[in-house]
Structures are given as C-alpha cells and as structure tokens.
C-alpha cells in the first residue's frame, strides 16, 4: 500500500477493495474515476444486498399475505426507518421513496406546487441550480401561474444574500428551492441560515441534497428543512431509487402525485380516497430491489462515518485545488466547498480535455453539467469537472494533474 | 507526446489553431446554424458563389472546428449533389474508422470512430452544410 492511499482519516486501500469496479482497466490503463458526482460506484455490500434480495427474499410488497411478501415488505419498510434515521427525520412517515431527486422535486412541484401554491405566489431558485431544480418550477409557472424568480450568486460562486433579500422583499415568495451543494462549483449553501431566512419571511424551503448528502451528515431537523431530496445512485446505492423528505404536516396537506395501486385507502368507480403519507405518494410497485440496495448503501457510509468521509474529502479537495490551480482555471472559490471542481483550460475545449484524459484511463465529466444557465452566468459554454468520493486517492488527483499537463502540451 | 492521441494528430490541431475558412463573409447566398446541445458546440455556416464556397463561425471543440475547416476545403467547387455524396462518404469514415482514399485530409478524422460520444462533433458541420443547401433552395 502506498503512503498516499492510506490517509489518516480513512483506510482508502481497504475501502477501494469494497468496490469491484475500481480495479478495472480502461484503455489498458488503471481506471481513475473522477466522475462520482454524476453517479458513484457501488460497494460489494450494495451489490450483495440486491442479489440476496432477488435470490432469497423477494415478492411484491404491501400486498401478499404470504411469508415471502411479508418478509420483503419488512425489508423494504426497514429502509424507510434507516433513511429517516440517516436524515434525522422526526418520523418514518416523512420519507417518500421516488425514482431519484429529479422525481422528488417534480412530485413537490406537481402536488404542493399546484395544490398549495397559488397563482401570483413566487418560487425562488438560485443561479446555481441543476436543471432538476429549475425546469419543474418553469413547468409549474407555465401551468399554474406561479412566478419563478432567480437569486444571484457572487463571482466566488456563493449565494448572494443581498439578492435573496431583494427577491423576498415583496413578500410573494412562498418557496425557496435551492441546492445544498452545487454540482458544478462544489459550493455548500448555508442550509440552516437559508431555512431561517425563508421561514422568517413566510416561505418554505426545499433543499436539493443530491450532492451534499454524499459528503456530509445531514440533519433535516437541525436545518429545519421543509423538503429535502436526494438520489440513491450518488450515495453509492443503485439508480432508480430516490428520496423525498418532507415535514409530516406538509405531506398530509399534499394531494397524490400519481394514481394507482398502493396509494389509495379505498377505490370505487365513483371515487377513491387516498392513503396516508408516505404511501399516498408511492403509486404502483416500487423499486423494491433498489430500495434494499439504498438501505445497504446507507449502512455502508454510516459504518465508515461522515466525520472520516468529510475529513478525507476535505484533504483531497485542498490537495486538488493546490495541484490544479497552476494548470487550469477553476470556477468558483467558495469558502465552504466540497470535492467537485469545474475547470477550463485556455485553448482547449472541455470535451477535448475529457477525451484526452479518457485515453489515460481518467474519467471526468465535460459539458454543461445539466446547469446551462449557470454556464451562462460564469461566462463559459462548458467545463470539465473532476469530482471525488470516499474511494478517491491523492494519487488519482496527481494522475489528473499529470494528464492535464499532457493535454496542455497538445493544445499549446 | 501522449499515447493513443492519434485523434489529435497534427492536421487537426493545425486546423483548429490556424483555421483557413473561419469568419463571416460580407456577402453570402445562404446560411445555416448547427448546434450540439450536449456540449454547447455551435457553428454558423455561410455559402457563397452559388454554394461553391463555404465559410463559418464556430465555437466548440477541436474536432468540430477542424472538421468544419477541412469540410470547407473538401466541398469547394462541388455541386449540391456532390456535396451530399461526400457527406455520406465522410459519415461512413467517422463511423467505421476506415479511411476513404477519395476524401483526402478528411480522413484525419477517421480516429473519431473510437470515441463514440465525439462522432457528432465531427459530423455537426456537415449537418449544418446540408441545412445551408436547403436554405439555398428555398432562398
């Protein structure tokens, strides 16, 4: 084991053995996977839990009276408890399973947005949102007459509180929907301060935790979040499972999203009545196996511990900022930031950078990162992005730096 | 020099850094726009002299820019039908990786076949060119 792999916070070499895919070669080179912000790799524990479910404990949930269905329902519902504990939700009924964070936000926009928000009310997002936290609100605006407002960010890539204040000034903002960590700039937003800010002005807050939840312990009660969303696949779990947390009284007030089995209390040809939350929002057979996988992913990160994960990633990020700064232009310099680093290189397009790095086995993302308006705000059309996970090593960041030097040589 | 960087061979880097046909002409017969929403690559093409001369304004990666510049050389003086034939032949080259002797320098882009996500970068100028000829017909 090289010294660089064993950090003082995490035994990264041991952790890497948990992820079968990381030992693969790409183009004959060791895979250096620096695209975890798009989707993270999966540990053996997650893979095994899903296989175990299919091999020995699988039937539909909430329906059968037989042993297999009851056991599967128990396992499925146990993940709700786990997720509630993971976010420190006040109760398990506040956890709704969805397909991903995008669906969670669409659910809120469709139900809370249409039933509770009124035409003339405003929804406020920031300039650094993923399309997932912008487009659903545009659709709500167009369908329901709700105004959509945009709070500015500073050149450092932090939320501009003066702009926020301005947008709230006329008292019409009823919902602040904002990222907890930017998928482009790595900026953390001050969730607790924002929640208080919104609540003091009579608005609710929705936090897009797709990135944040992977790197820091999130406590929705300490934040006082009204809504909090994330995806399983970025948290080392499978794709196809996401989470919507919402305060119980808010979920109680919301009509269903989709209709079908499991979300009803009673059905007749004349009318149907709705189940209580969370089942009201889980129509049809859910992603049973993926939910079991999410439970294993939560167990996995809990066992490592967020103190160690956060410390490891903070050191990686500091190291990366040091070695990359002389080579590329890094976008954003927020005080409170995580391991997502977007950059550009003079004369070389992001896609050319990504292709040349790929040939060295280094996977980075290039493009607009589902944040086109933010690209415009930053004055670029696309960036390359390296993002880190608990399995990322200092050696991999050094490999990225070496790869970028070669790109520079070609484009000099 | 980097291994496996055949795609970024000297013809392509030369055309990217020193394009021969870039710029908006004062007079033109037809124009068309092409963009790739995946990466934000954009090209605006101008046809002059009854479609026998092409120039462009591009903002994008090295592959797209070089492809546009090489295309402008390759279609100079050709009729619309001949251009359409070249486009078909070129698309075959970038999809299969097999050079076509009739295409000359355009074969420099054959390596793009190994980078599935980049084939569209090489073909974007050609789609825009087809659209410009349409504009010509209707214009």
My answer on whether A223 and A112 are in the same domain is yes
My answer on whether A313 and A235 are in the same domain is no
Is residue A6's pLDDT more than 80? no
Please report which confidence band the pLDDT of residue A369 belongs to, taking 50, 70 and 90 as the band edges.
Answer: confident
- Interface test with chain A among B5, B9, B58, B109, by most A beta carbons within 10 Å: B5
User: Considering only residues 368 to 387 of chain A, which have any Cβ-Cβ distance to chain B shorter than 8 Å?
Assistant: 368, 372, 375, 381-382
Tell me whether residue A411 is in a domain. no
Using a CB-CB distance cutoff of 8 angstroms, which residues of chain B are in contact with residue A366? 39
Q: How does strand A242-246 pair with strand A95-98?
A: antiparallel
- Domain C-terminal end among A281, A302, A323: A302
Active site residue A370: yes
**Looking at residue A7, what is its pLDDT?**
61
- Domain C-terminal end among A271, A302, A333: A302
Domains and CATH numbers, chain B: 6-138 (3.90.1010.10)
Domain span at A123: 48-302
Using a CB-CB distance cutoff of 8 angstroms, which residues of chain B are in contact with residue A347? 17
My answer on whether A372 and A314 are in the same domain is yes
Tell me whether residue A41 is in a domain. no
Q: Judge if ipTM > 0.90.
A: no
My answer on whether A297 and A162 are in the same domain is yes
> Comparing C-alpha atoms, which of B7, B1, B5 is closest to residue B111?
B7
- Interface test with chain B among A38, A344, A351, A384, by most B beta carbons within 10 Å: A351
Question: Residue B38 is nearest to which of A349, A367, A410, comparing CB atoms?
Answer: A367
My answer on whether A309 and A294 are in the same domain is no
My answer on whether A86 and A151 are in the same domain is yes
- Domain C-terminal end among A302, A328, A343: A302
My answer on whether A374 and A332 are in the same domain is yes
In total, how many domains does chain A have? 2
Strand positions, DSSP E, A22-157: 25-26, 29-30, 32-33, 95-98, 122-126, 147-151
State in Å, rounded, how far the first CA of chain A is from the last one: 36
State the Cα–Cα distance between residues A184 and A173, nearest whole angstrom: 26
CATH code where residue A162 lies: 3.40.640.10
Using a CB-CB distance cutoff of 8 angstroms, which residues of chain A are in contact with residue B5? 356, 359, 410
Out of A5, A304, A321, A370, pick the active-site residue: A370
My answer on whether A281 and A320 are in the same domain is no
pLDDT tens digit string along A281-291? 999 999 999 99
Tell me whether residue A39 is in a domain. no
Mean pLDDT by groups of 10 residues along chain B of 139 residues: 64 93 92 85 90 90 95 92 94 95 95 90 94 76
Residue A351 to residue B118, Cβ atoms within 8 A: yes
Residue B3 to residue A359, Cβ atoms within 8 A: yes
My answer on whether A124 and A152 are in the same domain is yes
What the block records as the tokens of A307 is 């103190």
User: Considering only residues 25 to 54 of chain B, which have any Cβ-Cβ distance to chain A shorter than 8 Å?
Assistant: 38-42
Residue A367 to residue B39, Cβ atoms within 8 A: yes
Using a CB-CB distance cutoff of 8 angstroms, which residues of chain B are in contact with residue A38? none
Strand positions, DSSP E, A52-146: 95-98, 122-126
Burial class (CB in 10 A: 0-12, 13-18, 19+), A152: middle
My answer on whether A257 and A169 are in the same domain is yes
Is residue A87's pLDDT more than 50? yes
Instruction: Summarize the confidence of residues A189-216 as an average pLDDT.
Output: 98
pLDDT tens digit string along A72-84? 999 999 999 999 9
Tell me whether residue A207 is in a domain. yes
CATH code where residue A384 lies: 3.90.1150.10
Tell me whether residue A6 is in a domain. no
Structure letter (DSSP) for residue A332 = -
My answer on whether A282 and A171 are in the same domain is yes
């Amino acid at each position: 084991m090289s010294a660089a792999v064993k950090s003082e916070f995490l035994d990264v070499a041991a952790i890497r053995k948990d992820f079968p895919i990381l030992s693969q070669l790409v183009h004959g080179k060791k895979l250096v996977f620096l695209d975890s912000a798009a989707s993270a790799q999966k540990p053996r524990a997650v893979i095994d839990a899903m296989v175990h479910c299919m091999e020995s404990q699988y039937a539909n949930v909430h329906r059968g009276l037989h042993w297999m269905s009851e056991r599967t329902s128990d396992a499925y519902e146990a993940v709700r408890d786990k997720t509630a504990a993971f976010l420190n939700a006040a109760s398990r009924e506040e956890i709704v399973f969805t397909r991903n964070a995008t669906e969670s936000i669409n659910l809120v926009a469709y139900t809370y947005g249409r039933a509770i928000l009124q035409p003339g009310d405003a929804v406020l997002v920031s300039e650094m949102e993923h399309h997932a936290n912008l487009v659903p609100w545009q659709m709500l605006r167009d369908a329901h007459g709700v105004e959509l407002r945009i709070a500015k960010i500073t050149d450092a890539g932090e939320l501009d509180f003066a702009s926020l204040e301005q947008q709230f000034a006329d008292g019409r903002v009823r919902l602040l929907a904002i990222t907890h960590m930017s998928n482009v700039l790595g900026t953390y937003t001050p969730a607790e301060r924002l929640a208080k800010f919104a609540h003091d002005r009579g608005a609710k807050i929705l936090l897009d935790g797709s990135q944040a939840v992977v790197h820091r312990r999130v406590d929705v009660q300490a934040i006082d979040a009204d809504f909090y969303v994330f995806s399983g696949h970025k948290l080392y779990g499978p794709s196809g499972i996401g989470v919507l947390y919402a305060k119980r009284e808010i979920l109680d007030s919301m009509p269903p999203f989709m209709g079908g089995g499991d979300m009803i209390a009673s059905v007749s040809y004349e009318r149907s009545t709705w189940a209580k939350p969370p089942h009201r929002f889980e129509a049809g057979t859910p992603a049973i196996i993926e939910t079991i996988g999410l439970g294993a992913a939560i167990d996995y990160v809990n066992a490592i511990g967020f103190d160690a994960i956060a410390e490891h990633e903070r050191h990686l990020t500091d190291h990366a900022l040091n070695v990359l700064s002389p080579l590329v232009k890094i976008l954003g310099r927020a005080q409170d930031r995580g391991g997502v680093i977007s950059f550009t290189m003079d004369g070389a397009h992001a896609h050319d950078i990504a292709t040349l790095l790929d040939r060295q086995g280094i996977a980075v993302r290039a493009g607009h990162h589902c944040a086109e308006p933010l690209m415009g705000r930053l004055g670029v059309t696309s960036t390359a992005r390296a993002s880190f996970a608990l399995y990322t090593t200092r050696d991999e960041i050094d490999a990225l730096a070496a790869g970028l030097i070669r790109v520079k040589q070609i484009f000099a | 020099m980097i291994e496996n960087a055949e795609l970024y061979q000297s013809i392509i880097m030369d055309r990217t850094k020193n394009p021969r046909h870039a710029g908006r002409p004062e007079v033109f017969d037809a124009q068309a726009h092409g963009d790739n929403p995946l990466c934000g690559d954009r090209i605006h093409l101008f046809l002059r002299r009854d479609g026998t001369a092409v120039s462009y304004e591009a903002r994008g990666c090295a592959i797209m820019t070089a492809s546009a510049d090489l295309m402008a050389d390759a279609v100079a003086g050709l009729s619309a039908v001949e251009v359409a034939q070249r486009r078909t032949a070129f698309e075959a080259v970038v999809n299969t990786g097999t050079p076509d002797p009739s295409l000359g320098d355009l074969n420099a882009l054959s390596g793009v076949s190994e980078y599935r996500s980049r084939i569209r970068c090489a073909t974007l100028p050609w789609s825009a060119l087809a659209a410009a000829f349409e504009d010509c017909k209707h214009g």
